[in-house]
């Protein structure tokens, strides 16, 4: 019998999800989510939007926006990803209900990875990686874009523009390269990496 033993690894081929911090910037892997790519048939957007609102708690967002709903107690994000295309992200155990002829739904859970990037210098870091204007006047709360980051396709969504926090998603096959670019941009903006902030002591 073979002694081969399988070990679970993260998208970056690590034992634990990434959580890295610099002065004014944090890069933290989002875990426990599944992802589905939703594409609407021509003329099917309205029907799909009603189904999403019924089953996911939020209608399809307008172009360059994301919406947030809830299903079975789990938060769900619906992120615009191009003309008649959206990414569904959330801790949902199963695929959302069938779209019928209104669209097409494919499970992307093993193909994408998501991170939260946050901190006072987040925009400075991200602006070294993409050409997107992240100023709150141009990219406010709820804004979403599909773009190239160092030549790799990514989705970015603004969750908080006052205390900068963004969801950053990209394909798992490019995760290690993308993480390297983010770390390089963080170092050139913020200096050396620091230890994770310690949790407050219990009273």
Fold match flag (19-32+110-190 vs 34-107): no
Q: Which two tokens stand for residue 193?
A: 């990496």
Q: Domain map of the chain by residue range?
A: 19-32+110-190, 34-107
Are the C-beta atoms of 18 and 179 separated by less than 8 Å? yes
pLDDT tops 50 at residue 2? yes
**Average pLDDT for 8-35:** 88
Q: What is the pLDDT of residues 106-123, one digit of tens each?
A: 999 999 999 999 999 999
pTM of the model: 0.90
pLDDT digits (tens, 9 = 90+) for 85-102: 999 999 987 888 888 889
Closest-CA residue to 60 (of 43, 51, 112, 100) = 51
Residue 203's pLDDT band, with cuts at 50, 70 and 90, is very low
pLDDT above 50 (res 201) = no
Look at the domain 19-32+110-190 and name its fold: Gyrase A; domain 2 (3.30.1360)
In words, the CATH class of domain 34-107 is alpha beta
pLDDT digits (tens, 9 = 90+) for 29-64: 999 999 999 999 999 999 999 999 999 999 999 999
Task: Say which residues have a Cβ less than 8 Å from residue 146's Cβ, sequence separation at least 6.
Answer: 80, 81, 82, 153, 154, 155
How distant is the alpha carbon of residue 121 from its chain centre? Answer: 19
Alpha carbon 61 to its chain's center: 15
CB atoms within 10 A of CB 164: 22
Structure tokens of 28?
């933290």
Determine what percent of the chain is predicted with pLDDT higher than 90: 76
């Amino acid at each position: 019998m073979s002694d081969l033993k399988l070990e679970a690894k993260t998208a970056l081929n690590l034992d634990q999800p990434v959580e890295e911090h610099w002065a004014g910037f944090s890069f933290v892997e989002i875990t426990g989510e599944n992802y589905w790519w939703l594409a609407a048939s021509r003329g099917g957007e309205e029907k799909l939007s009603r189904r999403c609102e019924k089953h996911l708690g939020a209608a399809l967002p307008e172009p360059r926006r994301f919406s947030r709903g809830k299903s079975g107690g789990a938060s769900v994000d619906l992120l615009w990803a191009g003309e008649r295309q959206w990414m569904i992200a959330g801790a949902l155990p199963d695929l959302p209900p069938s779209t019928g002829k209104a669209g097409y739904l494919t499970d992307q859970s093993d193909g994408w990875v998501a991170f939260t990037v946050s901190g006072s210098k987040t925009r400075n870091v991200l602006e070294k990686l993409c050409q997107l204007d992240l100023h709150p006047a141009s990219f406010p709360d709820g804004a979403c874009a599909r773009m190239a980051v160092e030549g790799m396709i990514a989705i970015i969504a603004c969750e908080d523009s006052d205390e900068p926090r963004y969801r950053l998603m990209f394909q798992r096959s490019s995760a290690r390269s993308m993480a390297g670019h983010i770390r390089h941009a963080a170092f050139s903006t913020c200096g050396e990496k620091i230890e994770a902030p310690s949790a407050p002591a219990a009273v």
